Amino acid sequence: MPVPAVTLPLAAPDLEVTDPGGWLDWLVGAPLQSLVALLIGGLALVVARWSIARTVRSVVEGGTTVRRHARRLLLRTKMGQTVVDTSPLAAARRVQRAETMGSVLRSAAALVVGILVLTAIANINDWNLGPVLASAGVVGVALGFGAQTLVKDFLSGVFMLIEDQYGVGDVVDLGVASGSVEAVGLRVTQVRDLQGTLWFVRNGEVLRVGNKTQGWSRAVVEVRVGPDEDVPAVAEMMRAAASGLTSDDDLSALLLGDPEVTTFEDLTGDSVMLRAAVKTAPSKQWEVQRALRALISSELASHGVAQAVPRREVLVERDAGARQGQQGQQPTA
């Protein structure tokens, strides 16, 4: 009785077990090409990650060699020390922003390389990805509806970091919370207010950002005097007091302009408001403001100029029953 020939199911069609030439042709075909695609993708991913890591390290260390030399030259002068902020908060902000953006870029590079490699392997092996893509599309739509808040927070955080709207150490007003930024993430920003409360604000909830310490700041001091005072003379006193800022070496390094004094910023029946303002380095306005307030107060006191005290009027209304009782009393003879 003849025995039927047995053939094994192979990945490559129409190949006999005893056909070494067919096996060799198949191995140097799709499998080898797929392996080459994987190796090229892995090499591209390694190069991309190395480039991203080098860029992040350069940003953390202060930029390129030319920029580092320029920073050293600026730091030799007090004005340069003001322009080039080397405080721990500025360094922490730069490090956190660079590392966060590096993490985003690494994830994006891995995603792009993975998609390209899978597409290349599918084309090499003649795979039909239509049903898979259709199923993935349905799953993606479902996840999009379920995680739309998370996606919104993530995208908002990415654009905030790219646009450098705020960073660690900035004093900001986010609408839902105000205070000093302690950490910036892709989903949540941590803000500590003046009372010490730490607020966790989702980036998707931030509709507006008021940064009080970015670029430059302004110290403003407002003074009210009586309407009978010589306002131009008081303005000259304030200018003389403000000139004390420029004569102080420590305070003058914080200034980015000359102090200005304006008059009649507000006028009421019992006071006239004058305003002194000066442009300062970022986040230095409060220090300059305190010093300017002390100088102006001392200068006005030395010339006998008193600041106006808000007048308050208190109206006392007697009880209606008591008034009627008083009206009903008759004088006695």
In tens, the pLDDT along 229-273 reads: 899 999 999 999 999 998 888 898 899 889 999 999 988 888 899
Q: Are residues 160 and 232 in the same domain?
A: no
Please indicate, yes or no, if residue 326 is contained in any of the structural domains.
no
Asked if residue 331 is part of any domain, the answer here is no
Mean pLDDT of 22-45: 76
Q: Are residues 52 and 29 in the same domain?
A: yes
Same domain, 79 and 35: yes
Same domain, 124 and 153: no
Q: What's residue 329's pLDDT? A: 59
Across 87-113, average pLDDT: 73
Bridge partners of 273, per DSSP, are: 224, 266
Indicate which CATH number applies to the domain containing 147. 2.30.30.60
In a domain, 330, yes or no: no
Instruction: Please tell me whether residues 237 and 168 are part of one structural domain.
Output: no
Does a structural domain hold residue 51? yes
Q: What is the pLDDT of residue 109?
A: 86
Question: Is residue 292 located within the same domain as residue 234?
Answer: yes
Q: Which residue has the higher pLDDT, 147 or 282?
A: 282
> Which of residues 196, 214, 232 is at a domain's end?
214
Q: Do 266 and 282 sit in the same domain of this protein? A: yes
Cα separation, 58 vs 83, in Å, equals 20
- Is residue 4 domain-resident? no
| Domain presence at residue 182 | yes
Please state the pTM of the whole predicted model. 0.59
Tell whether 157 and 265 lie within a shared domain: no
148 lies in a domain? yes
**pLDDT band of 10, cuts 50, 70, 90:** very low
Number of domains present in the structure of the chain: 3
Do 121 and 20 belong to one domain? yes
Q: Mean pLDDT lowest for which of 13-22, 163-172, 216-225? A: 13-22
- Quick check: is 2 in a domain? no
Domain that holds residue 155: 143-214
Q: Which of these three, 106, 130, 154, is where a domain ends?
A: 130
| 224 and 268 fall within a common domain | yes
Same domain, 123 and 29: yes
Domain stop point among 81, 97, 130: 130
Return the pLDDT at 7.
43
Q: Between 139 and 240, where is the model more confident?
A: 240
Which range in 34-43, 92-101, 197-206 is most confidently predicted, on average pLDDT? 197-206
pLDDT digits (tens, 9 = 90+) for 191-234: 999 899 999 999 999 999 999 888 889 999 999 998 888 999 99
For residues 228 and 286, membership in a common domain is answered with: yes
- Residue 143: its pLDDT value, please? 66
